[in-house]
């Protein structure tokens, strides 16, 4: 495991490396960011760096500590909540019992707690006591998608490390180098991954259905603008059946209309859905040039989140789209 193998998060990697080289390692870290951002991978590399017998800018990968880390068989590495479920007090009790024991082979012990926000109240309060008087040879790394789900008394005693979205160019380069992905597919994956590398990898490997869903939504869009408003209920059914995915649907429609606008303004190089550019050209011919449809869709999405009448919001959105493209 090497820092250089992790795409993006350069500031975080530099900071973690410096903390080891300058002997300024904190007793507890919180790695916060959406799933798929590489929090766990980077936590493992940081753990290996802490346990490595000859660390400089990277783990040496040849000492006995590194060899055992690479096989996930190091007695001083402890993964809590591997199954990513509710963390009960019993699990924290086991952590505390282990944390006050002497390390086996390294001069440190490292604890990685996955989905730390899933601690029960009892577990969190028990864990807090450990943070108040942390043993000097232990480093704890809490992984979470949302730091606000942790109790403030825990977060105040930890060093917070926020994972940022990775740039599209970094994702495209990674996909090309590691999966030999064609440029157009890499471009699509980078745009639809929202800066989350693992999501982009899943897209190109076929383990994420977002591109298939995109085709489905574009076909529904075609029905919207080619259906008389009197029988629009046929399209309404789709939105009712996919109510749980409405954020994705509206966002995909916004990206699609954005592409149509770029085509309309002879800016095809900025189109995301390049494989559908010919269809976008057809739609651009009938689209009203001065439309505020993107802003309208954004407001619709926000209104739905605010629990307005769902059916009424969707009906108005469908009629607005028809108005813009007829």
pLDDT on residue 326: 72
DSSP 254: H
**How many Cβ atoms sit within 10 Å of the Cβ of residue 171?**
26
Assessment of whether the complete model's pTM goes beyond 0.85: no
For the chain, list residues with pLDDT below 50. none
Nearest Cα neighbor of 297 from 323, 272, 268 is 323
pLDDT on residue 230: 61
Using DSSP's 3-state secondary structure scheme, residue 76 falls into coil
pLDDT on residue 56: 87
pLDDT tens by residue, 184-228: 889 999 989 888 888 898 898 888 888 889 999 999 999 888 876
Q: 256 burial class (0-12, 13-18, 19+ CB within 10 angstroms)?
A: buried
Q: In angstroms, what is the C-alpha Rg of the chain?
A: 25
For the chain, list the domains and their CATH numbers: 3-162 (3.40.50.300), 209-324 (1.20.272)
């Amino acid at each position: 495991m090497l820092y250089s193998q992790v795409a993006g998060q350069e500031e975080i990697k530099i900071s973690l490396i410096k903390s080891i080289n300058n002997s300024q390692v904190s007793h507890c870290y919180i790695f916060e960011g959406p799933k798929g951002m590489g929090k766990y991978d980077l936590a493992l590399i940081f753990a290996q760096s802490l346990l490595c017998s000859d660390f400089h800018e990277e783990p040496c990968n040849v000492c006995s500590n590194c060899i055992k880390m690479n096989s996930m068989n190091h007695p001083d590495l402890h993964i809590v909540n591997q199954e990513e479920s509710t963390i009960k007090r019993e699990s924290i009790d086991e952590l505390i019992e282990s944390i006050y024991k002497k390390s086996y082979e390294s001069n440190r012990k490292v604890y990685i707690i996955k989905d730390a926000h899933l601690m029960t109240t009892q577990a969190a309060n028990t864990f807090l006591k450990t943070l108040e008087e942390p043993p000097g040879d232990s480093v704890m790394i809490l992984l979470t998608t949302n730091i606000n789900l942790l109790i403030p008394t825990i977060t105040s005693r930890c060093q917070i490390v926020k994972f940022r979205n990775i740039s599209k160019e970094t994702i495209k380069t990674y996909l090309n180098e590691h999966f030999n992905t064609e440029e157009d597919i890499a471009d699509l994956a980078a745009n639809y991954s929202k800066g989350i590398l693992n999501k982009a990898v899943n897209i190109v490997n076929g383990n994420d259905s977002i591109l298939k869903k995109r085709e489905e939504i574009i076909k529904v869009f075609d029905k919207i603008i080619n259906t008389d408003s009197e029988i629009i209920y046929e399209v309404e059914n789709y939105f009712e059946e996919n109510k749980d995915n409405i954020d994705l649907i509206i966002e995909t429609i916004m990206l699609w209309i954005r592409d149509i606008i770029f085509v309309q303004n002879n800016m095809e190089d900025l189109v995301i859905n390049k494989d559908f550019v010919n269809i976008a050209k057809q739609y651009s011919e009938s689209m009203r040039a001065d439309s505020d449809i993107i802003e309208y869709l954004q407001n619709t999405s926000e209104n739905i989140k605010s629990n307005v009448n769902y059916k009424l919001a969707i009906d108005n959105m469908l009629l607005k789209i028809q108005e813009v493209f007829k």
